[in-house]
Structure 1
Amino acid sequence: MRVLDIDRTYLRETLLELLQVPSPTGMTDTVVQLVCQKLEAIGVEYELTRRGAIRANLTGKVHSPDRAIAAHLDTLGAMVKNLKSNGRLEVVSVGTWPARSAEGARVTLYIDKGIQYRGTLLPLKASGHVFGKQVDTQEASWQNLELRLDEVVHSHSDLEQLGIHPGDMISIDPNPEFLSNGFWVSRFLDDKVGVAAVLAAAKAICDAGVPLPMDCHLLFTISEETGVGASHILHGDVAELLAVDNGTIAPGQNTSEYGVTIAMQDSSGPFDWYLTRRLISLCQTCGIEHSRDVFRYYRSDSAAAVEAGNDIRTGLICFALDASHGHERTHEKSALAVARLLAMYMQSDQLFERDERPLGPLQDFPSDPADWDDDLSVNKAPQE
């Protein structure tokens, strides 16, 4: 097992490219094309589902069982709900997105035949010169938001003349700003930092030519923000699924702002005891800054996979994210830590030999998880 260098320039530039491609849930084809090009450039084979989720394949010495690493390409967005008599548009969110974070966002509206319009999401009472203190007391909700188009429209019929209909998609400008001190600020770092980290780790594996003990599938899902996630892209040989997503920086949380965070539980319940301890052991052995955290109002690709009926061990590792689903911020060190851990995890052996079979006897079942000591020399882990 080798500690691999992560190409910082590749990680940063890949993230910037991903952020510049609009990809709200339901409109992900363009970003899928970009990621497929990235996989081809580093020499990784892949397959696509009917709707465009990607399953890339890093070949190992053993083809079954195998493991999977999942990150999602889709982001939050919005959709036209109704055409209003004042020439504005009523909108609804795509994904769980607080209206307060949407206020003032510059957006693109996509209608039929490839036509696009620009506009701004605004509160109904947006001007203090008109509404006074009511601009501060109006509840922040999607019912109190509207889309102002930068077009000559003043009525319902004007909107119809532009060809606008309920159900037209809206993407939000990310406005990325990458500072020289390592802070990265943008909308939709969730989960495009995770995608960039997975690609950077895969590039490190391919560049170094290190052998993997078992097949590793890189899953890029397209509907995590609406709860579907990795439910439809696994196959029966996958024994371990590791999701990569954001860890929230907030009071009461223990997320590592400059390292990787290993989630012990989210709203769907605890993650696999052995897989989380393997990840912690890898961080400790390789000197990767890390922490452990528990998330109350959170779920990831792994939850959808288990709910779909997959009997797999699941885990979640996170890059740091301040103001998730809003004006988000992370740090380059955190993204690098995630990529380093992923590169080590890809090289680690399966947790238990019994996991190659979906069913087995009691004799080879772990006796007590509290006694399990993963020092990377047990459970047939590969040696340096």
Structure 2
Amino acid sequence: MSYTGNSEETFQLIKELVTIPSPSGNTKKVISFVENYLKECGVETKRNRKGGLIATIKGMNENEHRMLTAHVDTLGAMVKEIKPNGRLKLTMIGGFRWNSVEGEYCQIETTSGKVYTGTILMHQTSVHVYKNAGDAPRNDENIEVRIDEKVKTDKDVGELGIEVGDFVSFDPRVQMTDSGYIKSRHLDDKASVAILLRLIKHIQTEKITLPYTTHFLISNNEEIGYGGNSNITPETVEYLAVDMGALGDGQSSDEYTVSICAKDSSGPYHYELRKHLVKLAEENNIGYKVDIYPYYGSDASAAIRSGHDIIHGLIGPGIESSHAFERTHESSIQYTESLIYHYLLSSMVEN
């Protein structure tokens, strides 16, 4: 049975997901969105104490389980300091570089839930004032937020209710093009979350019986390293993280195929599972690339580090300019959906 998915519907779901601010540590709204989506699909879910969401679909074999994971948490920042001039200093959430968000619109959410808008700028932005505007370091000292309110002092900012520790999220600027691309911040990893949700809906709608009981973990702490290292049932044998394939010099991944990871900074992924995924791709005419990511970690590698006795793998759509101005193509989304679908219906690998 073949399945290619519907990229237009998946794109629309990605658009909804990326529009919900969810930097690591502040993911309740997006988890509620996913929870409601799955509820409408008739799928049993539960939240873990970390705030992640677990959906379970019972299969024919209830003694051996699979788990798939994708994460809804994103890069972001927190207010580190309120400057005397009414600007905000930031501290990063997740691994990115300040130059990738320079000039970006943002939201500041106070502890009371009030939201203010602003722009992330260099202190030395104006070339008419600062001679070193072009070459001043893009660092914690020089990057600041200009709030869209009449504030001139730290006292003015305090009266708005903005405090140290408030979350700052970046405008996704999502766009879909006639040429089949979707470009947005936070495709890592909301593109994968959308893929899993669409597959779950398809399984439920078509009343497909999976060969194994399968858990879907929507994790919310991946960007800070520990989203998928818990709530893995003792029966879980295979654990597949669905996350982006990173593109760049020396990489084989692209925006048009599904990436199958052989190794990242944590070491090799399970060889037999990788070969199984490649075989499924070839048997079902799924465009794929095998790749190695030198500066990468996933929920699957976090699960291994936490001591779980599982077979682990990593696949995902190819994402251009990861942790910055991200983009992928509908064909990559379709191939990723298709590979996961065929994986879910396949037999487990022999270790």
Taking structure 1 as the reference length, what is the TM-score of the superposition? 0.89
For residues 28-58 of structure 1, the C-alpha deviation after alignment (integer angstroms, 9 at most, x for no partner) is 0110111111112222221111232111112
Match of 2:181 in 1: 183
> 1:115 offset after TM fit, Å?
1.5
2:338 to 340, 349, 363: 340
Q: Residue type of the partner of 2:134?
A: D
Contact 1:80 1:89 in 2 (8 A): yes
Contact 1:205 1:343 in 2 (8 A): no
**Is 2:90 the partner of 1:91?**
yes
Calculate percent identity across the aligned residue pairs.
36
Alpha-carbon distance in 2 for matches of 1:104, 1:37:
34
Query: Where does 1:11-160 land on structure 2 (aligned, <5 Å)?
Result: 11-132=10-131, 134-160=132-158
Contact 1:229 1:304 in 2 (8 A): yes
User: Is the deviation greater in 189-198 or in 207-216?
Assistant: 207-216
Match of 1:312 in 2: 310
Provide the aligned length of Structure 1 versus Structure 2. 351
Alpha-carbon distance in 2 for matches of 1:231, 1:344:
25
Contact 1:8 1:336 in 2 (8 A): yes
Alpha-carbon distance in 2 for matches of 1:296, 1:192:
22
Q: CA RMSD in A?
A: 1.2
Alpha-carbon distance in 2 for matches of 1:302, 1:224:
10
**Is 2:190 the partner of 1:192?**
yes
Contact 2:4 2:337 in 1 (8 A): no
Alpha-carbon distance in 2 for matches of 1:286, 1:269:
28
Match of 2:236 in 1: 238
Match of 2:212 in 1: 214
Alpha-carbon distance in 2 for matches of 1:4, 1:205:
11
Q: Secondary structure at the match of 2:133?
A: helix
Contact 2:317 2:336 in 1 (8 A): yes
**Is 2:187 the partner of 1:167?**
no
> 1:257 offset after TM fit, Å?
2.1
Q: Secondary structure at the match of 1:167?
A: coil
Contact 2:65 2:235 in 1 (8 A): yes
Alpha-carbon distance in 2 for matches of 1:319, 1:142:
32
Alpha-carbon distance in 1 for matches of 2:83, 2:222:
31
Contact 1:185 1:328 in 2 (8 A): yes
For residues 77-97 of structure 1, the C-alpha deviation after alignment (integer angstroms, 9 at most, x for no partner) is 110001111111111111112
Alpha-carbon distance in 2 for matches of 1:92, 1:68:
33
Q: Residue type of the partner of 2:259?
A: T
> 1:323 offset after TM fit, Å?
0.7
> 1:211 offset after TM fit, Å?
2.0
Alpha-carbon distance in 2 for matches of 1:261, 1:29:
29
For residues 111-159 of structure 1, the C-alpha deviation after alignment (integer angstroms, 9 at most, x for no partner) is 1322221111101111111113x11111122332001101111112222
Q: Secondary structure at the match of 2:34?
A: helix
User: Is the deviation greater in 178-187 or in 157-166?
Assistant: 157-166
> 1:4 offset after TM fit, Å?
2.1
Alpha-carbon distance in 2 for matches of 1:81, 1:75:
18
Contact 2:7 2:333 in 1 (8 A): no
Match of 1:224 in 2: 222
Q: Secondary structure at the match of 2:112?
A: helix
Alpha-carbon distance in 2 for matches of 1:17, 1:64:
36
**Structure with larger Rg:** 1
Alpha-carbon distance in 2 for matches of 1:345, 1:58:
15
Alpha-carbon distance in 2 for matches of 1:161, 1:331:
45
Q: Residue type of the partner of 1:293?
A: D
> 1:11 offset after TM fit, Å?
0.9
Match of 2:301 in 1: 303
